[in-house]
Amino acid sequence: MKRRPALAGLTMMLVAALAACGGGTDKAASSHGGKADSAYAGQHQDRQDRDDKVSGVRDAVRHTTRKTAKGTRPHYVKKCETETRKVKHTQRKKGRTRTWYTTDRYRDCDKVRKGTETYTRVVRPERWCVRLDDLNGKKAKDDVWFRVAPAVYSKVNGADDRTRVTFEPISKGC
Give the per-residue pLDDT at 22.
61
CB-based contacts of 134, cutoff 8 Å, min separation 6: 56, 57, 141, 142
Give the per-residue pLDDT at 71.
94
User: Using one digit for the tens of pLDDT, what is the confidence trace for 100-140?
Assistant: 999 999 999 999 999 999 999 999 999 999 988 888 877 78
- What does the alpha-carbon distance between residue 86 and residue 103 come to, in Å, rounded to a whole number? 5
Give the per-residue pLDDT at 109.
94
Beta strand 144-147 pairing with 67-93: unpaired
For residue 26, what are the β-bridge partners? none
Closest CA to 126 of 148, 141, 155, 108: 148
At 65, give phi and psi (nearest 5°): -80, 165
The amino acid sitting at 28 is: A
**Can you tell me the mean pLDDT for 85-91?**
94
Q: For a pLDDT cut of 90, what percent of the chain falls above it?
A: 41
Give the per-residue pLDDT at 21.
67
User: Using one digit for the tens of pLDDT, what is the confidence trace for 18-45?
Assistant: 777 665 444 444 444 444 444 444 444 4
Q: What SS3 state is found at 57?
A: strand
**C-beta separation of 171 from 147 below 8 A:** yes
